[in-house]
Structure 1
Amino acid sequence: MSQPQAAHPPLSGAQLVIGTIAVSLAVFMNVLDTSIANVSIPSISGDLGVSSDQGTWVITSFAVANAISVPLTGWLTDRIGQVRLFMASIVLFVISSWMCGLAPTLPFLLASRVIQGAVAGPMIPLSQTLLLASYPRAKAPMALSMWAMTTLIAPVAGPILGGWISDNISWPWIFYVNIPVGTVAALATWAIFRHRDSIVKKAPIDMVGLALLVTWVGSLQVMLDKGKDLDWFSSTTIVVLALVAVIAFAFFVVWELTADHPVVDLSLFSLRNFTGGTVALSVGYGLYFGNLVLLPLWLQTDIGYTATDAGLVMAPVGLFAILLSPVTGKILPRTDPRYIATASFLIFALIFWMRSLYTTGVDTWSLTLPTLIQGIGMAGFFIPLVSITLSGLPGHRIPAASGLSNFVRIMCGGIGTSIFQTAWDHRSIFHHAQLTEQANAFNPTFDQSMRQMQAAGFTEPQAHGLFNNMVTQQAAQLGVNDLFYVSAGIFVALIALIWITRPERAGGGDAGAAASAAH
């Protein structure tokens, strides 16, 4: 982060090993919680007596609270100290996880997830700071590759672990698993890092900017989440939320560009590399995360997969991601990062196009192959784009740029989830209406199908009910195919943003700083 730091020598021996494990465990727990609930939404929704649409708030509430707290990390670090803030984040994360598991109602669960997301915000940037300070400068790439491995394994382990727990134990345990992991991470962190804290200083905070940030982000997310239930702009509530979000955002932009100590440094968007890199990374992440939620939900609600099986379909993404990430780190300093990012986006476009061809009779191999290939794209997704985003920035602006880029990315992840839910619903309704138009006595195919069903012993109402069920499943299939196809097209279009940037060839220090912001 940007705070002045007391000079501490690198760690060595057992202390370095324990310190690395402690920080990695905290990151693993944090990142795991962004995806562990994805495949468990149907279980949570059913148990709490709410719809799957309402259940997705479990994901979006965490994402939004997390997005709001990330820009505050620098200010909090100055006031509290990086080790004390990191420790507080872990302890509060464990407590809020326990509260999530105990939740008797959806509002209680959502409140606990908001707390969990808020305290998780500082953990990612501080884990990078602590890890980089623990290793000699020459070994910084090794430290960051180990850190990157953790962030790649966790999203893969999340759906599998979440699915298995939901099927075999009960959904509260997807949150209870954080308690032992967090406790070990907190104890080990305190043992190794307690004498390595940063210098604390009084730093002013932009309260007006913070209030406007919370207002527009909160209003926007609630609008996106409730829009489908309230029939969008035919609802006064949605109209009011949209107006509040737009007005608060407008005031936020003006205020932050003129404030002495802005909570978010928006002037960074005047830089070509930062804007191109951040928008490409954030929109790409929103598409990836939206699909990460959509795919297991579709498999469970329409294809008849269990939560465990849906999780296992998502698992192969980690194989190539983990194997190829160190390779990306090695070739990046010698290559134009735009080539790697372009290749990554083309791979994402390919796998979404492959998924757009799915039918209701899709087999396991057809589901698994694109996920396996996606791992290759993942390995070239984060680090090249972050190096482009931070390219050419002076050292003192990198922490602010990293915080803002992470903020936009996390927000896009939350927004992507909401948009994909709503769009899938709308496209399914559209296709259902189109398919139902064919259900009339003048259509010989439909008429023949009805006669065959009645000959098999079905009454006329039963035959029509069975036909409607088939149409509903097919409409949901066509709806999800539409979203996969559009996602492929957007990934191709985003390549243009990569090529409006002009990244400078980074040296070791800049590359290390850039990579340290990648997640």
Structure 2
Amino acid sequence: MNPSTDANAPMPLTGARFVLGTFAVALATFMNVLDSSIANVAIPTLSGNLGVSIDEGTWVITLFAAANAVSIPLTGWLTQRVGQVKLFVWAILLFVLSSAACGLAPNLQVLLIARIVQGAVAGPLVPLSQALLLASFPKEKSSSALALWAMTATVGPIAGPALGGWITDSYSWSWIFYINVPVGLFAAGAIWAIYRDRETPARKLPIDKIGLLSLIAWVASLQIMLDKGRDLDWFNSPVIWVLTIVAAVSFLFFLVWEFTEEKPIVNLRLLAGRNFAGGTVAISVAYAIFFANLVLLPQWIQGFLGYRAVDAGLVTAPLGIFAVILAPVLGKIMPKSDTRVLATLAFLGFAGVFFMRSHYTTGVDAYTIVLPTLLQGIPTALFFTPLTAIILSGLPAEKIPAAAGLSNFVRIFAGAVGTSLLSNGWSDRAILHHARLIERTSAENPAFVAGITHLQTTLDAGTPKATAFFEASLNAQATMLGLNDIFWVSAVIFIVIIPLIWVTRPVKGADAGAAGAGGH
């Protein structure tokens, strides 16, 4: 999907058209990336306003990611069917419309439907934004185009939580979606004005309908099963059993069909390549842990430390600082380095950050929260691009769009699944720690009796009020211990998956430039 390699590609943009076109494309990318993180700090407020639990509120994030993942493999077919520029503009306009629907949603059900649509139409935005940027720059400056794209995509983690928190506290959670309307309309108008005479040819192509339907079936049933499992008591519910069977059968059918279909919607044969398979699994598992923790941390900060949404956003925003600062540095050192070493350093860095967090207490101060978040920006900068270079290395040019689409599908869906699994794990571990702590709260335990007596004296209250205060403290402690377990497991997983990097062949020099086609 790199127009700069096409002999019939239009000339690069110049002057004001170049500046405005590049800005508009970057703005559309920023809007999409921002929307994947801006809702994180708004979940507690959003859930409260809609009268649902925080667990149910998290579906706003996981269903968006799942729908986004499913639509990514369609980008190549849609581009050839509609045309690159028309598809990009239509995707932005539909994103704007679904954003408005999200903001107007009167209940969770309507909001989730709107978010599924929003995630689906967002699928083409990332790969097409890269293609349009590459066509805007001279071929010899393609690395600058990709660096600009990467920086735009990386700014999202800085702006998203802080902006989302400020909007939620100052106005309402609806405005985290309404903000997309003016931004998207401007981007769509500017892109159409500048790029419409640079449209790629459209032609009618068959689509793998059976592959697409089976893909939707297993992704949807698996994601709903994971999101609803705890509410329905998992496999004690016939609904969960049905969803599990549908997911398993449709997934197996999908595998068989896609491996035997002449023009599959997802080219699973790419997994036969050592670098593609190892790199895709590594980046997907890592992203699942990375993304899930970005969702869970603000929930804990607001729900149990009492931070406002804006403050939760500010203490999690520093993640992107080092990621942006180091992006141009990485561009210089990567062609001279073994990308496996860079990816290994990233995984070790993530492990170190999560080990730091696994020692949090209920009395943790803002500095202790901010420091690992700030440091996490370093492995974030070393994470995406080297692994994407590994994934796409050695592939012929005609296979790179399909490879980038498949790896992005697996990665983004892994983010949704990881969020559901770690959210469930956090709840289960908190329940376990609560049960263990409650065992020590009997009248025969002198420490417990002394503690209640001390609370009665301190609060100048009777036994019921002191006991209620103690129970709230115990819940907060159990929740904290459960989250510490998630942080510790996250760190261990990053260590365990390092060998996946080293089953791949070394990539350096010119091969590293292939990373541009993959995206964040």
TM-score (norm: length of structure 2): 0.98
Aligned partner letter, 1:466: F
Letter of the 1:107 partner, please give it: Q
Q: Deviations over 1:150-178 (max 9, x none)?
A: 10101221111110011111111100110
Taking the aligned partners of 1:57 and 1:5, their CA distance within structure 2 comes to 45
- Per the alignment, residue 498 of structure 2 pairs with 495
Superposed displacement of residue 329, structure 1: 1.2
1:138-157 pair list within 5 angstroms:
138-157=140-159
Give the whole-Å Cα distance in 2 for the aligned partners of 1:386 and 1:57.
28
Conserved in 1, the CA contact under 8 Å of 2:157 and 2:319?
no
Q: CA deviation at 1:443?
A: 1.5
Q: Which residue of 2 aligns with 1:251?
A: 253
* 2:481 aligned with 1:478: yes
Q: 1:323 aligns to what?
A: 325
Matches of 1:503 and 1:91, distance apart in 2: 42
Matched-pair contact (CA < 8 Å) for 1:40–1:171 = yes
Residue 216 of structure 1: aligned partner: 218
Instruction: Kindly provide the CA deviation profile for residues 67-92 of structure 1, in whole angstroms up to 9, marking residues without a partner as x.
Output: 11000000000100000000100111
Contact kept, 8 Å, 2:160 with 2:317, in 1: the verdict is no
**Residue in 2 that maps onto 1:294:** 296
The equivalent of 1:373 in structure 2 is: 375
C-alpha separation in 2, matches of 1:86 and 1:404: 19
**2:311 alignment partner AA:** D
Q: Which runs of 5+ in 2 are unaligned?
A: none
Alignment partner, residue 514 of structure 1: 515
Give how far 1:293 is off: 0.4
Distance 1:437 1:272 in 2: 51
Once residues 336 and 140 of structure 2 are traced to their aligned partners in structure 1, the CA distance between those partners, rounded to angstroms, is 17
Amino acid at match of 1:35: S
Number of aligned pairs? 517
Structure 2 counterpart of 1:192: 194
Contact 1:6 1:196 in 2 (8 A): no
**RMSD between aligned alpha carbons?**
1.3
Deviation at 1:270, TM superposition (A): 1.1
Distance 2:215 2:7 in 1: 28
Q: Report what 1:226 is aligned to.
A: 228
CA contact (8 A) 1:63 1:410 kept: yes
Q: Is the 8 A contact 1:356 1:482 kept in 2?
A: yes
Instruction: Tell me the SS of whatever aligns to 1:104.
Output: coil
Aligned to 1:120: 122
Deviations 1:450-495 (A, max 9, x none): 2223345332222222221111000000000000000001011111
Cα displacement string for residues 400-459 of structure 1 (whole angstroms, at most 9, x for unaligned residues) = 110000000100111111112111110000000000000112221112112223345332
TM-score (norm 1): 0.98
The equivalent position to 1:14 in structure 2, one of 13, 16, 24, is: 16
Question: Hey, what does 1:168 align to over in structure 2?
Answer: 170
| Structure 1 contact 128–517 (Cα < 8 Å) conserved | no
Aligned partner of 2:422 in structure 1 is: 420
SS at the partner of 2:198?
coil
Tell me the residue number matched to 2:181.
179
Letter in 1 for 2:468: G
Establish whether residue 388 from structure 1 lines up as the match of residue 390 from structure 2: yes
Q: Distance in 2 between matches of 1:89 and 1:477?
A: 41
Identity of matched residues, %: 57
The residue identity in structure 2 corresponding to 1:34 is S
2:465 corresponds to: 462
Alignment of 1:260-409 (within 5 A): 260-409=262-411
Whole-angstrom CA distance in 1 between matches of 2:422 and 2:143: 36
Amino acid in the other structure paired with 1:503: P
Q: Does the aligned pair in 1 maintain the 2:18–2:136 contact within 8 Å?
A: yes
Q: SS of 2:34's equivalent?
A: helix
Runs of 4+ in 1 over 6 A off after TM superposition: 2-5
Indicate if the aligned counterparts of 2:60 and 2:111 stay in contact, CA closer than 8 A.
yes
Once residues 24 and 7 of structure 1 are traced to their aligned partners in structure 2, the CA distance between those partners, rounded to angstroms, is: 20
Letter in 1 for 2:224: V
Question: Whole-Å Cα distance in 2 between the matches of residues 375 and 274 of structure 1?
Answer: 25
2-structure distance, mates of 1:506, 1:227? 47
8 Å CA contact 1:6–1:197 kept in 2: the answer is no
Instruction: Give the whole-Å Cα distance in 1 for the aligned partners of 2:232 and 2:29.
Output: 37
Whole-angstrom distance in 2 between the partners of 1:481 and 1:94: 38
Q: Is the 8 A contact 1:264 1:404 kept in 2?
A: yes
SS at match of 1:194: helix
- For the Cα contact (< 8 Å) 1:2–1:396, is it kept in 2? no
Any stretches of 5+ residues in structure 1 without a counterpart?
none
| 1:212 partner SS | helix
Residues 5 and 198, structure 1, Cα contact 8 Å, conserved in 2: no
2:44 corresponding residue in structure 1: 42
Partner letter of residue 22 of structure 2? T
Shift of 1:5: 8.2
Say whether the 8 Å CA contact 1:79–1:200 is kept in structure 2. yes
Quickly say closer, same or farther: Cα 1:476–1:430, change in 2 above 3 A.
same
Distance in 1 separating the partners of 2:217 and 2:277: 24
Deviation at 1:506, TM superposition (A): 4.6
- Offset at 1:354? 0.3
Q: 2:58 aligns with which of 27, 49, 56?
A: 56
